[in-house]
Amino acid sequence: MTTEKSCFDDTSSGQGVEDKATVSVVGDPESVHVSLGVSDSEKSLKLDKTGLPLVPQPSDDASDPLNFPQWLKIAVLLQVSFLALLGPLNQATVNPAFVPLAAHFHVSTIVASYQTTIAIAFAGIGSFIWVPLANTYGRRPVLLFTTLIAAASSLGSGEALTWSQLIATRVLNGLGTSSFFTLGAGMVSDCFFLHERGRAMGIFTVFLTNSAHIAPIPGGFLGQFISYRWCYYLPAILDFTMFVVMFFCLPETLYLRGSTPVVTDRPILRRMKLWGLRPKGKHLKASDFLRQFIMFKYPTVVLTALYYSVTFTLSSILPAVTSAILFRRLYLFDASSTGLALGVGTLIGSTLGELLGGIVVDRSMYLSRKGKNDGDIVPEVRLQGIWLGAILQPIGLLIWGFCIQYKTIYIGPTMGFGIMCFAIQIISTVLYSYNADSYRPQTPEIAQVLNFGRQTIGMTAGFWAIPLGDKIGYQWMAVTMSLVGIVTFLPVIFLMFHGKTVRDRMGAPTYNRSL
């Protein structure tokens, strides 16, 4: 059988050309820690446009996602990024409308915020179901199925007649949207090389981070001028729209490295199948649902996840769950005004943070590789890009807390929002990229750890934020939370200098190494 030349050529995708060099792999062959040097036998390497070896090395299979043309990689990135945006959007659009929501169900505004808290909590739990399924049957069918769950449950929330019905649909919505955060990060890692991954992860995280900031803008207007129900209908419409787009445009990216290339003259269309792409010999086992907890034993993952979860809670979730109450109390803002104040400042901050964050982490990795004759690649280089975010995050939190306590004009806490979101975007980009570089085959499981930490710690904010601030003062709450953030940052500083030693001592995970 003959096969036509595929559009997935390395040269056509702009990834580089094939050249002769020698390579020796240090430690785990799936790790990014690769050194160039003299070896017993020469091996053909594919290089990027700067002459450095592509990491990881793509196969000769046209169906390998690393060989996708650049336009298709960007299309995948945009789709999974928009899907990541829809996760918090499903949960947070109703936040500015807590007052009419509470009035309809005859509960307090604080109790009304619990339906958001519950959705956030189950968004952290559900991924433990979806990741093993996606690693066996493919990312594409699982994402399509969970997007339908999200759409149906969000529609059900808008139609809920009782408080218990609303809570039940919010549980389902959290379970459905949980896959958006974890599988999306895995698909980004499936498609992009090391030198592209920081910027690609940055785009993914800016959508993820900004979602909770964009949501209050339409949510405020819908809650005030139409009905709080439309704060659920809008996400349902967007979920279903995204389902249709992905059904026709999102290819499968699950790929078993070392597998026999499939002879086909239509590799893109083959990757659009809903089934039949399960890696040969791969079967779902009960142990698959348990071994995903293995990533919790790796210090580099757990320590960065702790810092990320704390700072995300304080910089993104805290403003989201408190603004509807505080801005109404201090400034007599209605739902639409609250949505604009919260959304615009945080959106600007996150966008500026991404413009800086993704570029800096990729540039730092490039300069590190270029400056070493042995081509040594150490993921800890990524962590050096976190400093600006780590410094600005507590500053923004303090501005927010003191401005709320001393009742400055609304521009004050809004500036605090913006600075915190600028910082968390840099922090998110750096930590997602660092972990993907450290354990690339386990990227979905790592994203699951980050998501679980973010959702679990974040869900608590709605319970303690307002009572704590009212009791000790918002300025002292901000000081306390800033100190918590600084303490959880100390292990990240340790990893900057000793992360490689820690990873070498722990070894690499033994599962999914062929992905």
CB 306 within 8 A of CB 484: no
Cα angle vertex 130, ends 126, 134, to 5°? Answer: 165
| Residues 6 or more apart whose Cβ sits within 8 Å of residue 355 | none
Query: Is 457's pLDDT higher than 80?
Result: yes
Query: Is 334's pLDDT higher than 80?
Result: no
- As for how many domains the chain has, the answer is 1
- Strand partners of residue 25: 34
Q: What is the pLDDT of residue 302?
A: 93
Q: What is the pLDDT of residue 365?
A: 61
Band the pLDDT of 369: cuts 50, 70, 90: low
Band the pLDDT of 2: cuts 50, 70, 90: very low
29 domain residue, yes or no:
no
Q: How confident is the model over 450-474, as a mean pLDDT?
A: 86
Q: What is the pLDDT of residue 31?
A: 42
Pick from 53, 57, 52, 60: which is nearest to 30 by CA?
57
Coil, helix or strand at residue 344 = helix
Q: How confident is the model over 384-405, as a mean pLDDT?
A: 91
16-58 pLDDT, tens digit each: 433 434 333 333 434 444 444 434 333 577 776 766 777 778 8
Judge residue 294's burial from the number of C-beta atoms within 10 Å of its C-beta, 0-12 exposed, 13-18 middle, 19 or more buried: middle
Q: What percent of the chain has pLDDT over 90?
A: 30
d(CA 486, CA 307): 9
Band the pLDDT of 487: cuts 50, 70, 90: very high
Q: What is the pLDDT of residue 29?
A: 39
- The more confident residue out of 460 and 30 is 460
H or E segment at 392? Answer: helix 387-405
19 domain residue, yes or no:
no
Query: Is 451's pLDDT higher than 70?
Result: yes
512 domain residue, yes or no:
no
Q: What is the pLDDT of residue 471?
A: 93
78-98 pLDDT, tens digit each: 999 999 999 889 988 888 788
Q: What is the residue range of 349's domain?
A: 65-258+267-281+288-506
H or E segment at 19? Answer: strand 18-21
10 domain residue, yes or no:
no
84 domain residue, yes or no:
yes
Q: What is the pLDDT of residue 373?
A: 46
Query: Is 14's pLDDT higher than 60?
Result: no
Name the DSSP letter for residue 313: I
Mean pLDDT: which of 6-20, 157-171, 284-298, 352-366 is highest? 157-171
H or E segment at 45? Answer: strand 43-46
Pick from 378, 387, 390: which is nearest to 360 by CA?
387
> What mean pLDDT, rounded, does the chain reach?
81
**How many CB atoms neighbour CB 348 within 10 A?**
17
- The more confident residue out of 316 and 404 is 404
Which range among 69-73, 268-272, 368-372 shows the weakest confidence by mean pLDDT?
A: 368-372
Give residue 239's identity as a one-letter amino acid code: D
Q: What is the pLDDT of residue 79?
A: 95
d(CA 509, CA 458): 28
CATH number of the domain bearing residue 80: 1.20.1250.20
Band the pLDDT of 240: cuts 50, 70, 90: very high
CA 116 to each of CA 62, 119, 127, 253, 315: distance values in angstroms, whole numbers, following the listed order: 44, 5, 18, 32, 17
d(CA 276, CA 257): 17
Q: What is the pLDDT of residue 38?
A: 38
Q: How confident is the model over 93-120, as a mean pLDDT?
A: 86
Coil, helix or strand at residue 44 = strand
- The more confident residue out of 114 and 44 is 114
Q: What is the pLDDT of residue 276?
A: 64
Pick from 154, 153, 133, 151: which is nearest to 142 by CA?
133
17 domain residue, yes or no:
no
Query: Is 268's pLDDT higher than 90?
Result: no
Q: What is the pLDDT of residue 394?
A: 95
Q: What percent of the chain has pLDDT over 70?
A: 83
Band the pLDDT of 433: cuts 50, 70, 90: confident
Query: Is 7's pLDDT higher than 90?
Result: no
129-164 pLDDT, tens digit each: 898 898 888 899 999 999 999 999 999 999 999 999
Residue with tokens 């592209």: 196
Q: How confident is the model over 177-182, as a mean pLDDT?
A: 88
Band the pLDDT of 281: cuts 50, 70, 90: low
Q: What is the pLDDT of residue 50?
A: 67
- What's the N-to-C CA distance of the chain in angstroms? 28
Which range among 71-75, 278-282, 311-315, 397-401 shows the weakest confidence by mean pLDDT?
A: 278-282
Range 105-114, long-range pairs (CB < 8 A, 24+ positions): 105/162, 105/163, 105/166, 107/163, 109/324, 109/325, 110/325, 110/462, 110/466, 113/321, 113/324, 113/462, 114/462
Hey, what are 255's tokens?
A: 């790929």
Band the pLDDT of 189: cuts 50, 70, 90: confident
Query: Is 512's pLDDT higher than 70?
Result: no
138 domain residue, yes or no:
yes
Q: What is the pLDDT of residue 30?
A: 43
Name the DSSP letter for residue 330: H
458 domain residue, yes or no:
yes
Band the pLDDT of 279: cuts 50, 70, 90: low
